[in-house]
Amino acid sequence: EDKVVQSPLSLVVHEGDTVTLNCSYEVTNFRSLLWYKQEKKAPTFLFMLTSSGIEKKSGRLSSILDKKELSSILNITATQTGDSAIYLCAGTNTGGFKTIFGAGTRLFVKA
């Protein structure tokens, strides 16, 4: 059965800290790994990763995929209170419409 597991489930840090969120996946015919940020309502897209070892970066956020270890990490440097959210990781398969989501990591950044 396909699955995506995220760790930790929740995390509390102080502003300015650097955090690393983890995602491991078992997806048949794996195609891509996606990260979303969910604040109060709709998840919003952050990154799509398809190749191992190539870092994607957007401001203070970055992510990388390791296809050998079937995992990905999302790094957030110099965290701000606005980074408080649930971060969702999802895996997709080739040729299908299946996007398997993890349960998410709830991040709380204290001022």
Partner 1 sequence: NAGVTQTPKFQVLKTGQSMTLQCAQDMNHNSMYWYRQDPGMGLRLIYYSASEGTTDKGEVPNGYNVSRLNKREFSLRLESAAPSQTSVYFCASSELTGDNSPLHFGNGTRLTVT
Binding positions for partner 1, rule: CB under 8 A: 4, 9, 31-32, 34, 36, 41-45, 48, 88, 90, 92-99, 101-104
Please state the length of the chain.
Answer: 111
Scored b (16 or more CB within 10 A) or e, 2-36 reads eebebeeeebebeeeeebebebbbebeebebbbbb
Task: Identify which of residues 17 and 101 has a Cβ nearer to partner 1 in the complex.
Answer: 101
Q: Are 19 and 13 in contact (CB under 8 A)?
A: yes
The CB-side HSE value for 27 (13 A sphere, CA atoms) comes to 28
CB of 73 vs partner 1, minimal distance in Å? 18
Residue 92: how many other CB atoms lie within 10 Å: 20
Task: Identify which of residues 41 and 68 has a Cβ nearer to partner 1 in the complex.
Answer: 41
CB of 99 vs partner 1, minimal distance in Å? 7
CB of 41 vs partner 1, minimal distance in Å? 4
Task: Identify which of residues 67 and 98 has a Cβ nearer to partner 1 in the complex.
Answer: 98
Task: Identify which of residues 76 and 91 has a Cβ nearer to partner 1 in the complex.
Answer: 91
CB of 78 vs partner 1, minimal distance in Å? 25
Nearest to 25 by CA among 53, 41, 49: 49
